[in-house]
Homo-oligomer: A and B are copies of this chain.
Amino acid sequence: MAERTGPFWDGVEGRAPKPRAAQTLGLEVVAVDPEAGTIELSFEAVEDWTNPAGNVLGAFVAAMLYDVVGPALLATLEPDEFQSTLELGVHFLRPVRPGRLTGRGRVAHRRGDLAHLEGSLHDPDGATVATATATARVIPLAEARDAV
């Protein structure tokens, strides 16, 4: 396979620092299949994200899922492209405790510059704790600063 470059692969392969937001979420890329449009990542949910009941606040569950679906698309793009998530919908299924979580993302459909993305988040027992769908637009990397 030809060497892949661009913002996603440079970060994954250590040629660029990991984005600060990804570091904050404890994100690690576990496996990626750009041809299939699928990705698996892990996150480290910390005590600083918990509510008074000791569960990870859904705020951070949503944050992790945003950073599941975006990378699924990003991994499929050209080096001079980037992606902009236009909307994200999250369903919260089970309480989440701090610790390692697994995220699985997928480009479900792409037509032109618009993509429909799906993701899920799983606890160490394999239970699905939350699911997400998103709509994203492929944009020129040079426009990333002005994109949502």
Give residues in A with beta carbon < 8 Å to B. 7, 16, 19-21, 23-25, 47-60, 62-64, 66-67, 70, 82, 84-96, 129-130, 144-148
Contact = CB atoms under 8 A, between A and B. Distances in A.
Contacts of A92: 84-88, 148
A78 to B, nearest CB: 16
Secondary structure type dominating chain A contacts = mixed
Within the oligomer, what is the number of copies of this chain? 2
Contacts of A53: 82, 144-145, 147
A112 B67 CA distance: 34
A63 B66 CA distance: 10
29 contacts: A19-B50, A20-B47, A20-B50, A20-B51, A21-B50, A21-B57, A25-B59, A52-B144, A54-B145, A55-B144, A55-B145, A55-B148, A57-B66, A58-B70, A58-B85, A59-B62, A59-B64, A60-B63, A62-B88, A62-B90, A84-B92, A86-B91, A86-B92, A87-B89, A87-B92, A92-B148, A94-B148, A95-B145, A95-B148
